[in-house]
């Protein structure tokens, strides 16, 4: 199996097992070069990330044209917009992990801690609510992720990106952990 497809399947299973996604939610992708062409391996729509096989992973080109059978995630254009704007990014994980998503539905922001690279602002960046699967979400997310590796999508979830899809998965887990810690701290301080 192509190593990139393998890493997409592994990361999908990992984020499911770590309870960052459940049911058929969430999506994972990685980019690789085939000759000179950018190819994106992405999880399919309407399938649990817990049990994906090689044949479930959909390959598309950078403009979203299918290179294999299957229907890619409904957020495929969000992934493509991010890859187009970030040459240094080859892996993307999108989750609705409960604590981070809870923050996204509230007026509280997730504090930026060490581990997110250079600390620029006090809180993780947020994108105002845009309809899932829309081109406004795709372009808004790509723009906000210009200088960032994590984005909170208001009333929706989070996106984590990295040089590899494994890195993006680790970052998605880290975001959930700090959201959980921040939540617990808030309750204890009440
Ligand atoms: Zn979503």
Q: 36 CA to middle of ligand 1, Å? A: 31
Residue-level pLDDT at 96: 97
Distance CA 22, CA 66 (A): 26
**Given this model, what pLDDT does residue 122 score?**
87
132 Cα–ligand 1 center, Å:
6
Q: Ligand 1 is a single-atom ion; what residues have CB below 5 A from it?
A: 157
pTM as predicted: 0.96
Give me the tens of pLDDT residue by residue for the chain, a chain 190 residues long.
799 999 999 999 999 999 999 999 999 999 999 999 999 999 999 999 999 999 999 999 999 999 999 999 999 999 999 999 999 999 999 999 999 999 999 999 999 876 666 657 889 999 999 999 999 999 999 999 998 999 999 999 999 999 999 999 999 999 999 999 999 999 999 8
Indicate which residues carry an active-site annotation.
Answer: 75
Segments making up each domain of the chain, as ranges: 3-188
Task: Give Cα 79 distance to the centre of its chain.
Answer: 8
Interatomic CA distance for residues 124 and 56, integer angstroms:
33
Distances (CA, A) of 91 to 69, 87, 172: 21, 11, 12
Structural contact between residues 40 and 62, judged by C-beta atoms closer than 8 angstroms:
yes
For domain 3-188, which CATH number applies: 3.40.47.10, 3.90.580.10, 1.10.730.10, 3.40.225.10? 3.40.225.10
Question: Do the Cβ atoms of 163 and 91 come closer than 8 Å?
Answer: yes
| Distance from residue 68's CA to the centre of ligand 1 (Å) | 23
DSSP letters, 5-37, are: HHHHHHHHHHHHHTTSS-TT--EEEEEEEETTE
């Amino acid at each position: 199996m192509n190593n990139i497809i393998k890493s997409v399947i592994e990361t999908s299973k990992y984020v499911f097992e770590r309870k960052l996604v459940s049911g058929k939610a969430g999506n994972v992708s990685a980019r690789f070069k085939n000759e000179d062409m950018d190819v994106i391996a992405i999880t399919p729509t309407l399938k649990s990330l817990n049990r994906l096989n090689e044949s479930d992973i959909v390959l598309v080109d950078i403009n979203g044209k299918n290179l294999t059978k299957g229907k890619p995630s409904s957020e495929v254009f969000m992934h493509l917009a991010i890859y187009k704007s970030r040459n240094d990014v080859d892996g993307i994980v999108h989750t609705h992990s409960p604590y981070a998503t809870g923050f996204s539905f509230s007026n509280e922001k997730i504090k930026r801690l060490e581990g997110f690279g250079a600390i620029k602002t006090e809180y993780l960046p947020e994108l105002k609510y845009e309809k899932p699967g829309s081109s406004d979400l795709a372009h808004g997310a790509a723009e906000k992720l210009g200088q960032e590796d994590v984005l909170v999508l208001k009333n929706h979830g989070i996106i984590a990106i990295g040089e590899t899809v494994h890195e993006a998965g680790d970052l998605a887990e880290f975001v959930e952990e700090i959201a959980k810690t921040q939540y617990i701290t808030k309750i204890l301080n009440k």
